[in-house]
Amino acid sequence: MTPAIRFKLSLMMFLEFFIWGAWFVTLGTYLLHNLKASGTQVGVAFLTQSIGAIVAPFIIGLIADRFFSAQKILGVLHLAGALLLWRASSAPDFDSFYPNILTYMVLYMPTLALVNSIAFRQMKDPQKEFAPIRVLGTLGWIIAGLIIGWLSWEQKNTLQATFLMAAGASLLLGVFSFTLPATPPVKSGQSSSIGDLLGLDAIGLLKNRSYLIFFLASIAICIPLAFYYGFTNPFLNEVGMKAAAGVQSLGQVSELLFMLAIPLFFSKLGVKKMLAIGMAAWVVRYVFFAYGNGENNYWMLIAGIVLHGVCYDFFFVTGQIYTDNLAGERFKSSAQGFITLATYGVGMLIGTLLSGRIFDNYQLASGAHEWCMIWLIPAGIAVAVLLLFLLFFRDRTASEPADELSYAETKARLEV
C-alpha cells in the first residue's frame, strides 16, 4: 500500500466516525432539552440505529456488491446524509426531526461496511495493515467529543450545532469519497437470497449449544447497552459534569487501549472468562453510575466511563473472534452479519424501547430523574445475563466431545 492510499484510507476512517460521534453521543440531551422530547421518544430516536443495521445488508448486498463501486456509493450516501443532518438541525420539534434522522441512519449504517470493504480491498495483509488505519476512526470519534466539550455546546444549550458540524464533515467525506481507490463490485451477475444478505445461512451455528448461549447473551446484553447509548449524556449533564461529551471520549480511549491488549488477554483467559469479564463490567459500570454524582462520588462517573473499553472489547470484540473461529472459512462473513443483525438489530431494538419507558417512569415532578433506579435496572439485567451465561456456557475443548458439535461437525452440517 502506497503512502498516498494509506493517507486516504486513514482520512476516510477519521471522517466516517467523526460524523457519527459528532451528534450521536449528545442526541439524548439535545432531544430532551432542545426539542422537549420524552424518554420514550429518545428511545425511538436511538432505535433508528437498529433499523439502519437491519436495512444495511440489503443496501450492501443488493447494490454495492453487484452494480456500483463501493467508493461511489459511499460518496452518494454521505452527500445525501449531509442534507439530512442539516435538515435535522433546523427541525422545530420531534415529529419533524424523526423522519430526517431515521432516513439518515438507514443511509449511514451501510457506510460502516463500505469503508471496511474499501480499506480491505487495498490491503495485502489486513491483519497487520487494518488496525493502524481503523484506529483513526476511534480518534475521529474522540475529537468530535472533545470539540463539543471545548465549545460548551451542552452548557450553552446549542447542541443543534452538532448536526451542522456532522453535516459539514459528511459533505467533505461525500466529495472526498470519489477520490478513493476504485473498489468495483465483487458479485456482479450473481444472485443471493434474503437469507444470504442477512447472514442467515450461518444459522446452523446455533446447533452448537455454547454458541447458542453466547448468541442469546449477545442479544440480552444489548438491552443494558441501549441505556448507555441513550441516556449517559443526559445523566452526566443533569448531575453537573462539565463538558460531558468531551469526558465521555475517555470511553473511546479506553476502548482503543484494551483493543490493542485483546490478543494478550485472549491467550491468557480464553473465551468464557473474557466474555464473562465483559458482562461483569457492565454491572460495575451501572452501579457506579447509580451511586455516582458530581461531588463526592465524581470518581464513580469517570470510572464508569473508562470501563467502556472492558465492556465493549471483552464482550463484543471477543464475541466476533469467537464467531469467526467457529464459523470456518465459508461462513465467516455471513456469521458476522448474523451476529450484528442479532445485537444491533434485535437486542438494541428491545433495549431502546425499554430504556425510554424506564426513563419516563422515573422522572420527578421537578423535571429531574431518579437516576439510581434508572441505572440499577440495566445493572440487574446484566447480572441475570451474566449468571445464566456462567451456568450454561462452556468453552469447546478436546475433553468435551459429548454434547458440543466440534468445528468439523458444525462445518459439515452447515455445508449440508
Contact call for residues 257 and 309 (beta carbons, < 8 A): yes
| Interval 384-412: pLDDT, tens | 999 999 999 987 643 343 334 443 444 44
Q: In this predicted model, what pLDDT tens digit does every residue of 347-383 receive, in sequence order?
A: 888 999 899 999 999 999 888 899 999 999 999 999 9
Q: What is the pLDDT of residue 65?
A: 53
Per-domain residue ranges for the chain?
1-180, 201-396+403-416
Mean model confidence pLDDT for the chain = 85
201-396+403-416 is classed in which CATH architecture?
Up-down Bundle (1.20)
Share of the chain above pLDDT 90, in %: 54
For 240-260, what is the mean pLDDT? 89
Fold match, 1-180 / 201-396+403-416: yes
State the average pLDDT over residues 180-191: 69
**Hey, what CATH topology would domain 1-180 get?**
Growth Hormone; Chain: A; (1.20.1250)
The grid cell for 296 is 463526592
Residue scoring higher pLDDT (380 or 197): 380
Q: DSSP readout, 261-313?
A: HHHHHHHHHHHHHHHHHHHHHHHHHHHHHHH--SSTTHHHHHHHHHTHHHHHI
Stronger pLDDT, 33 or 405, i.e. the higher one: 33
The arithmetic mean of pLDDT across residues 220-230, rounded, is 92
Whether 296 shows a pLDDT value over 70: the answer reads yes
- pLDDT score at 328: 63
The secondary structure of residue 349, as a DSSP letter, is H
Model pTM score: 0.81
